[in-house]
Amino acid sequence: MKTIAVIGAGTMGNGIAHVFAQNGFEVNLIDIAQVSLDKGLATIAKNLDRMISKGIIEEGVKNNTLGNITTFTDLKKGVQKTDLVVEAATENLETKLQIFKNLDEICNANSILATNTSSISITQIAAATQRPDKVIGMHFMNPVPIMKLVEIIRGYSTSDEITKTIMELSKQLGKIPTEVNDYPGFVANRILMPMINEAIETLYNQVAGVQEIDTVMKLGMAHPMGPLQLADFIGLDVCLSILKVMYDGFKNPKYAPCPLLVNMVMAGKLGVKSGEGFYDYSESRKAEKVSAQFS
């Protein structure tokens, strides 16, 4: 494989583009808005600068990485002549089905179509195409340049050959691929999201406060980040969406989203991306912290 297309320049998309480009692949980064592409490239550059400051890479690696990325707002132009397309658009079934229907019509017949979905059925996505044997899940973890795991999810019709190809490709990126079967939430989110939801229930039932809950999980369970802070970083809307997929898929009440999570999403309190979730990430709060450090 030589040329990779990544659809979506958001947090996951620009991270996926980053790791492919840094490992020598030509990357076509695609988004409907040029402002999103510009923001995505700026994020990649900032993350590369951080790696340089830590002595992980040299300046030349940054230049080569950015040089390997070309941006497109036209889907057809961006995916033509690519060996693999990785979709990293919003976690919405209808959006993904439409994207894959379009990809199937305009991509090379031999192109592999992958999705970075964290919960939606690969089999259902593949059914929107005429090449279900070439559709597979590549669930990268956030932040993509740092986290080693990639969940490789086989749909019902995904071929052994395609699975082997994607497993080997993931290793070329310095990742550790783990093959899982196609059930709601796969492995990572099937275990993680009920834990996050239970932490929210614990807060909702006033058992303890936000910092207290996170402190117990960090110090008592050796988690690097508490579940409520992690939910903020994932995005509360994303957490809600994944829980809904699992609840609809299993019809098990243990996956039903906590009312507090539902209300926070409806109120626009989505976590880091909105400036407020279980914690305050607003600019005024940042200014307070800076002031406190120098007072």
Say how many residues make up the chain: 295
From CA 65, how far away is CA 228, in angstroms rounded? 34
Query: Structure pTM?
Result: 0.89
What is 190-289's CATH number, 3.20.20.100, 1.10.357.10, 1.10.1040.50, 3.40.50.2000? 1.10.1040.50
- Residues annotated within the binding site are 8-13, 31, 91, 96, 118, 142, 273
- Residues annotated within the binding site for NAD(+) are 8-13, 31, 91, 96, 118, 142, 273
Strands 84-87 and 176-181: unpaired
| Domain extent listing, the chain | 3-181, 190-289
| Residue 257 and residue 247 in contact, taking contact as beta carbons nearer than 8 Å | yes
Evaluate whether 3-181 and 190-289 have a shared fold: no
> At the fourth CATH level, which superfamily is domain 3-181?
NAD(P)-binding Rossmann-like Domain (3.40.50.720)
Catalytic residues, by residue number, are 118, 139, 151, 189
For 12, 14, 33, 55, 155, the CA distances from 63, given in Å and listed in that order, are 21, 16, 24, 15, 37
Cα-to-chain-centroid distance, residue 43: 15
Per-residue pLDDT 10s for the chain (295 aa) are: 899 999 999 999 999 999 999 999 999 999 999 999 999 999 999 999 999 999 999 999 999 999 999 999 999 999 999 999 999 998 899 999 999 999 999 999 999 999 999 999 999 999 999 999 999 999 999 999 999 999 999 999 999 999 999 999 999 999 999 999 999 999 999 999 999 999 999 999 999 999 999 999 999 999 999 999 999 999 999 999 999 999 999 999 999 999 999 999 999 999 999 999 999 998 756 544 433 433 3
Write the burial class of residue 183 (CB in 10 Å: 0-12 exposed, 13-18 middle, 19+ buried).
middle
Q: What is the pLDDT of residue 1?
A: 86
Give which of 127, 67, 242 is closest to 113, Cα–Cα.
127
